[in-house]
Amino acid sequence: MAKTVTLIEGDGIGPEVTLAAKRIVEATGVKIEWEVCEAGAKVFKQGLATGVPQETIDSIKRTKVALKGPLETPVGYGEKSANVTLRALFETYANTRPIRQIPGIHTPYSGRNIDFVVVRENVEDLYAGIEYLQTPSVAEGLKLITRKGSEKIIRFAFELARAEGRKKVHCATKANILKLTEGLFKKTFEEVSLDYPDIEALHIIIDNCAHQMVLRPEVFDVIVTTNLHGDIISDLGSGLVGGLGVAPAANIGDEISIFEAVHGSAPKYTGLNVINPSALIFSSVLMLRHLEEFEAAHLIEQSLLYTLGVEKAFLRDLDKTSTLTTTAYTDIVIKNLGKQTDFWAPRHYKPLHIAHIKDPDDNVPRKDVGIDVYIESLLSPEVLGKSLEDISSATPFTLKMISNRGVQVYPLLEGVKPDTVDQWRARFFLRDSQKPMADSDVFNLVAKIGQTHKWMHLEKLFEFNGSPSFTKAQGES
């Protein structure tokens, strides 16, 4: 039976690379029915702020699988990236980027047997795009890491390792600094890893991970990490093996998966028939494995390796002197279908198991501690602190400290001369820690503060399971 796939041609050189991938997939004999849909620049310019029309959404819901060319977010149109919108709409929480040395493509790392996969959480973290200008000169971005989202991507990484016969998973975080957000990711990794005793589980600090990717990339097998870190190190990984022109990517969800090239739309090359379609062709290999068309995936992968490694048929991104066209390159790959290489050790792929994750437990013991109030002010720390102490004196709260840019500035530590801005975090604790924190008391405190100062944000402070749910400022006792 034919399988139906949504085909989003994309912007700029997108139609050229998607046509190449489509031709090669069809040449394997796999029966695919393509539903061609729009997203990106053309849609933004029609006035749709998401860049993704309803017809495209309906098609992806129906087919469950999409192959997508690069999308552009034109300056002056739209709000969010259409790429990010697609990932968020369909909860394609797992971004996978295989990083594998391709014989024939010379890099400083040739011969190092680089072969690993970056598994990037794809919908949370700073990419949730929750930002505020809290004052005219201070911007805030919320870094959201959830237990559920962390467990989903971490289990996915271990399941991917099993499906591909890999033996090791590194978890890369900044948990040494971001102890609650990145710390939650690390803790989840440590707990989930117990369910996979056949796979070695290792934690690595993200900056050391980047360092080791440059020094010893061959030590990695699977790297799982949060969204922003994954975005950065996956591009770094691509640079080790030849660049974005050969870098495939998959965005996998529980129900829907989107396969794409990660390079841009390169509008200045549109219509010149010189762009390298290898990245999207490799992405189509990932798509075929997802569809459990393992034989066709192997045919295309081997043909690409033969074309690049034996015939050294390069386009201009890999050989500046090349006169090869996109169309001619596609013809060569089709001609080489069925040819085999011995460049890569054979990997016996299995269907990927997607684990079901339970919803969060709402019965965690908690205790009210206090409240952080964010205030805009041009006063000095001393004047602001005395004012807030006076304001809170007749409430159930006492001022614990004030911080500015994460550093305690009131009470001022001896020898410290802070360079402050106009955004302050005032931390108030309950005077009687045995009493619950009433919302009416919080509202009363904020109302009193608002009579004298501008405030813009509140954060309740709790203890969960006896542990603080908040971090201390630098210098806070």
List residues with catalytic annotation: 127, 174, 207, 231
- Dist CA 211 CA 191 (whole Å): 26
Closest Cα partner for 20 from 340, 341, 332?
A: 332
Secondary structure (DSSP) of 100-161 = E--TTS--TTTTS--EEEEEEE-SSBGGG--EEEEETTEEEE--B--HHHHHHHHHHHHHHH
Closest Cα partner for 57 from 39, 30, 69, 75?
A: 39
Q: Sort residue 40 into left (φ over 0), alpha (ψ -120 to 50) or beta.
A: left
Token pair for residue 441? 């008391």
What contacts 189, CB < 8 A, 6 or more positions away? 150, 154, 171, 173, 201, 203, 224
Q: Can you name the residues that pair with 152 across neighbouring β-strands?
A: none
The answer to whether the beta carbons of residues 397 and 431 sit under 8 Å apart is yes
Helix, strand and coil percent figures for the chain, each rounded to 5: 35, 25, 40
Q: Work out whether the CA dihedral 381, 383, 388, 390 comes out positive or negative.
A: positive
Give the number of other Cβ atoms within 10 Å of residue 176's Cβ.
12
- Dist CA 121 CA 296 (whole Å): 28
Longest CA pairwise span in the chain (Å): 83
**Element (DSSP H or E) covering residue 163:** helix 147-163
The answer to whether the beta carbons of residues 395 and 465 sit under 8 Å apart is no
